[in-house]
Amino acid sequence: MTRITRRTAALGVAYLATIPAANLAVAHLGAQPVGFGYLAPAGVYFIGLALVLRDLLREAAGRGAVLAAILAGAALSWWLADPALALASTAAFAVAESLDFAVYEPLRKRGLLTAMLASNAAGLLADSLIFLWLAFGSLAYLPGQLLGKAWMTVAAVAVIAVLRRRAQAVAV
């Protein structure tokens, strides 16, 4: 059984918070520019961050913790946000998480960052397609959605890489 540390708890809370935060941002902020003339629903950055936090939580606490956080995040979304957005978000997360597990697990032995980048690429595409179709009945925001999530994934992975290098330098 995995021991819950402060780091694990912080990752779980951060990941959990991104789910309703994304839905609330979509509901209250609408579409926002993400670069290169593209727009995306405002929750895109939260979901990009969620993809990375999910992988870190899985590393710290396992699949069960991720699945529990998804369920708790879905429940919070149903309570805090528009039910249609919560349904679209829950369905998108469920499919994206299943796809992510299929990609992440085999690649993990090649390194955390490799597994994160590949699984996030697969997850962000599935999540975007399903969420946009269910929430808006359109894929008009797809390019912006993919770009916004990619920005967050790349930024978060870069920060993780720097922190890992610093930790390794301190350990030496």
Domains for the chain: give ranges and CATH numbers.
6-171 (1.10.1760)
The C-alpha atoms of residue 20 and residue 155 are separated, in whole angstroms, by: 21
Short-list 69, 63, 62, 52, CA closest to 13: 69
Averaged pLDDT of the chain: 89
Mean pLDDT of 98-103: 86
Predicted confidence (pLDDT) at residue 1 exceeds the cutoff of 60: no
| Residues across the chain | 172
Predicted confidence (pLDDT) at residue 2 exceeds the cutoff of 80: no
Predicted confidence (pLDDT) at residue 127 exceeds the cutoff of 60: yes
Lowest mean pLDDT among 8-12, 43-47, 93-97: 93-97
Mean pLDDT of 133-160: 92
Q: What is the pLDDT of residue 121?
A: 87
Whether residue 3 contacts residue 117, with contact meaning beta carbons closer than 8 Å, is answered with no
Short-list 89, 107, 87, 109, CA closest to 97: 89
Percent pLDDT > 90 in the chain is 40
Q: At what angle do helices 6-29 and 44-61 cross, to 10 degrees?
A: 160
DSSP-assigned states of every residue in 28-57: HH-EEEEETTEEEETTHHHHHHHHHHHHHH
38: left (phi over 0), alpha (psi -120 to 50) or beta: beta
Q: Which two tokens stand for residue 138?
A: 């359109």
Short-list 110, 114, 73, CA closest to 94: 73
Highest-scoring range by mean pLDDT, 44-48, 51-55, 138-142, 154-158 = 138-142
Mean pLDDT of 84-107: 87
Q: What is the pLDDT of residue 73?
A: 83
What is the SS3 assignment for 110? helix
Q: What is the pLDDT of residue 147?
A: 96
Short-list 134, 143, 114, CA closest to 36: 143
Interval 26-48: pLDDT, tens = 999 999 999 999 999 999 999 88
Task: Name the one residue in this structure whose structure tokens are 């990009």.
Answer: 48
Predicted confidence (pLDDT) at residue 3 exceeds the cutoff of 80: no
Question: Is pTM beyond 0.75 here?
Answer: yes
